[in-house]
Amino acid sequence: MLRETFKTVVLAGMYAASLVTARSDFVDALAPVPGVSFKLTKGHRSSTADKVTNNFQYVHALRGDGTNTKSVASILGAHQRQVGGNGYQNITSTTAYGTQYALDLTFADVPLKLLLDTGSSDTWIVQAGFSCVDFAEEEADEASCGFGPAYPGDFQYGAIPEQHIYIQYGDGEIIYGPVGYSDITLGNITVKRQEAGLANTTYWYGNNVTSGVLGLAYPSLTNAYLGSGTEHGWLDEVSYSPIFTSMINQGLVLPYFSMAINRNSSGGLIAWGGIPPVKGLDYSTAVSMDIIVTNLIDNPYTAWQYSFYTIVPDGWQWDSTTNMQKFPYIVDSGTTLCYLPPDIAEAINSAFEPAAVYLWMYGAFFTSCNARAPILAVVMKGVRLYINPVDLIFHDLVDPLTGLCMTGIASGGTGPYILGDVFLQNALAVFDVGHSQMRFISRQFY
């Protein structure tokens, strides 16, 4: 039994986000995806006006060798293989790449960088003296887990007796350790006595920069459990308020956050309870989309779930061609490319001049590095959100045999599909969890 199906989280009167079956006809109309369920969320607060706020921070892009096992594309690739699907053939290779984004914060006054993750809900930090294990749970050298600086202390306000955190991420990584309370400061916002985890046992593929994860998904996906041993079943769950929920409950921000990713993955801005001061927003393109939560449901008895912010656009337009088939798309800043249904991806790549060709060894499409890209837009409620042609050809990823460059549009196999950085660096993305909406505004001049 999946806890996100049966749990409703009410957040101290500020807002509630429930996974509901209302408008089930709309959800049922979506194309079935093996091992995946879709649920509509229901907001309990009116839509919030998007206002520029001083509560913003810079995020840092981390590319490393190009791998990102925590990107949605990587997780879905592993998931599709588990359920017998196809697609994302080489997504974990260095050529399929995903970008990670790090955020500066202080944990009990200790400065650290954590990995931003909109697909999970827990905040945790690796603790000094942790045990690093390999896939067989054998002891490994600490360096092989690839963390940045480990947190040298303990919880500021003490650990919670007989409770622990255990997370098995969709890509197989695992962290385990105690839970407790500490103040966490993000930018100029300090969340008092935030519950978090200290990882003292980990199986991890780190980037050698970040020291843990800041989870921004729904509260129903926290992973605290009773006991101090191996009790990780749903009967042992202990719900708690993740950090963004705590910001809202403590009256620090309005119930939404927003992200603006810069071109070339140089970083960007994230704002809490408002939008960041970015230039060139074209408000005539502002559009709101209902949030659908996408859940992986391979095994209802496992101790983990992974949930994603998902929308259903009208379709796509490229040059003079329009395809208005509706499919669910996950919005993910940690995935570089856009992953579309195979026939649409192939048609768009054929519209490059010269036409892009599929190179099976990369699992991606390639074209001449000076090709003309099609005029491409994703259509949402009749609004065309255009993708700059310069974002559709990657000049820093060239096949050495053919001299061709990779395009920004890839096949997503059986789905669900992904709107990655190729799209997001052309728009401001607003995650209005209080109203259960995502909003997008084109960025025209930046």
Q: pLDDT by residue (tens digit) across 100-151?
A: 889 999 999 999 999 988 878 899 999 999 999 987 778 899 999 999 999 9
Task: Give me the mean pLDDT over the 257-268 stretch.
Answer: 83
Inform me whether the pLDDT recorded for 248 exceeds 90. yes
Q: CA dist 41 to 23, 230, 298, Å?
A: 10, 32, 21
Residue 243: CB atoms within 10 Å? 22
What pLDDT, on the 0 to 100 scale, is given for residue 302?
A: 35
What pLDDT, on the 0 to 100 scale, is given for residue 98?
A: 60
Confidence category of residue 377, pLDDT binned at 50, 70, 90: very high
Q: How far is residue 11's CA from residue 291's CA, in Å, rounded to a whole number? A: 18
Q: Tell me, yes or no, whether 174 lies in a domain.
A: yes
Q: How far is residue 69's CA from residue 169's CA, in Å, rounded to a whole number? A: 10
Q: Tell me, yes or no, whether 251 lies in a domain.
A: yes
User: What CATH number corresponds to the domain at position 192?
Assistant: 2.40.70.10
Confidence category of residue 15, pLDDT binned at 50, 70, 90: very low
Task: Give me the mean pLDDT over the 396-414 stretch.
Answer: 91
User: What residues are labeled active site?
Assistant: 117, 332
**36-42, strands of its sheet edge to edge:** 8-11, 15-20, 36-42, 292-296, 307-311, 329-331, 417-419, 338-340, 409-411
Q: Exposed e or buried b for every residue in 147-185, given b needs 16+ CB within 10 A?
A: bbebbeeebbeebbeebbbbbbbbbebbbbbbbbbbebb
Q: CA dist 446 to 29, 61, 153, 281, 282, Å?
A: 38, 18, 42, 9, 11
Q: Peptide bond before 416: cis, by omega within 30 degrees of 0? A: yes
Q: How far is residue 417's CA from residue 297's CA, in Å, rounded to a whole number? A: 17
Confidence category of residue 205, pLDDT binned at 50, 70, 90: confident
What pLDDT, on the 0 to 100 scale, is given for residue 74?
A: 66
Is residue 165 within 8 A of residue 125, CB to CB? The reply is no
Q: How far is residue 385's CA from residue 284's CA, in Å, rounded to a whole number? A: 11
Instruction: List the single range of 70-84, 175-189, 260-274 with lowest mean pLDDT.
Output: 70-84
What pLDDT, on the 0 to 100 scale, is given for residue 238?
A: 87
Q: Tell me, yes or no, whether 299 lies in a domain.
A: no
What pLDDT, on the 0 to 100 scale, is given for residue 13?
A: 30
What pLDDT, on the 0 to 100 scale, is given for residue 106?
A: 97
What pLDDT, on the 0 to 100 scale, is given for residue 304?
A: 44
What pLDDT, on the 0 to 100 scale, is given for residue 167?
A: 87
Confidence category of residue 445, pLDDT binned at 50, 70, 90: low
Inform me whether the pLDDT recorded for 34 exceeds 80. no
Instruction: List the single range of 24-38, 217-231, 279-293 with lowest mean pLDDT.
Output: 24-38
Is residue 105 within 8 A of residue 115, CB to CB? The reply is no
What pLDDT, on the 0 to 100 scale, is given for residue 12?
A: 30
Instruction: List the single range of 19-23, 68-72, 318-322, 324-328 with lowest mean pLDDT.
Output: 19-23
**pLDDT tens by residue, 153-193:** 999 999 999 999 998 876 678 899 999 999 999 989 999 99
Residue 257: CB atoms within 10 Å? 25
Confidence category of residue 299, pLDDT binned at 50, 70, 90: very low
What pLDDT, on the 0 to 100 scale, is given for residue 8?
A: 29
What is the value of pTM for the model shown? 0.85
Q: Tell me, yes or no, whether 48 lies in a domain.
A: no
Q: What percent of the chain has pLDDT over 70?
A: 77
Q: How far is residue 191's CA from residue 376's CA, in Å, rounded to a whole number? A: 41
pLDDT top residue among 433 and 149: 149
Inform me whether the pLDDT recorded for 384 exceeds 50. yes
Q: Is the dihedral of CA 198, 201, 205, 206 positive or negative?
A: positive
For the chain, the C-alpha Rg in angstroms (whole number) is 21
Q: How far is residue 261's CA from residue 331's CA, in Å, rounded to a whole number? A: 12
What pLDDT, on the 0 to 100 scale, is given for residue 232?
A: 76
Vertex 444, ends 438 and 446: CA angle to 5°?
A: 105
Task: Give me the mean pLDDT over the 228-241 stretch.
Answer: 79
Inform me whether the pLDDT recorded for 42 exceeds 70. no
Q: Tell me, yes or no, whether 196 lies in a domain.
A: yes
Inform me whether the pLDDT recorded for 314 exceeds 80. yes
Which residues on adjacent β-strands are paired with residue 66? none
Q: Peptide bond before 111: cis, by omega within 30 degrees of 0? A: no
Confidence category of residue 301, pLDDT binned at 50, 70, 90: very low
Q: CA dist 204 to 40, 133, 173, Å?
A: 32, 8, 5
Q: How far is residue 417's CA from residue 150's CA, in Å, rounded to a whole number? A: 35
Query: Taking the mean position of all CA atoms in its chain, how far away is CA 46?
Result: 25
Q: Tell me, yes or no, whether 437 lies in a domain.
A: no
Average confidence score pLDDT of the chain: 82
Inform me whether the pLDDT recorded for 66 exceeds 50. no
Confidence category of residue 47, pLDDT binned at 50, 70, 90: low
Q: How far is residue 138's CA from residue 312's CA, in Å, rounded to a whole number? A: 43
pLDDT top residue among 171 and 403: 403
Which residues on adjacent β-strands are paired with residue 146? none
Q: How far is residue 410's CA from residue 404's CA, in Å, rounded to a whole number? A: 15
What pLDDT, on the 0 to 100 scale, is given for residue 45?
A: 62
Confidence category of residue 81, pLDDT binned at 50, 70, 90: low
Q: How far is residue 407's CA from residue 124's CA, in Å, rounded to a whole number? A: 35
Q: What percent of the chain has pLDDT over 90?
A: 54
Domain of 197, in residue numbers = 64-81+98-268
Helix residue spans in 128-183 (DSSP H): none
Confidence category of residue 91, pLDDT binned at 50, 70, 90: very low
Inform me whether the pLDDT recorded for 428 exceeds 90. yes
Q: Tell me, yes or no, whether 336 lies in a domain.
A: no
Count of domains forming the chain: 1
Q: Tell me, yes or no, whether 132 lies in a domain.
A: yes
Instruction: List the single range of 24-33, 79-88, 269-278, 361-370 with lowest mean pLDDT.
Output: 79-88
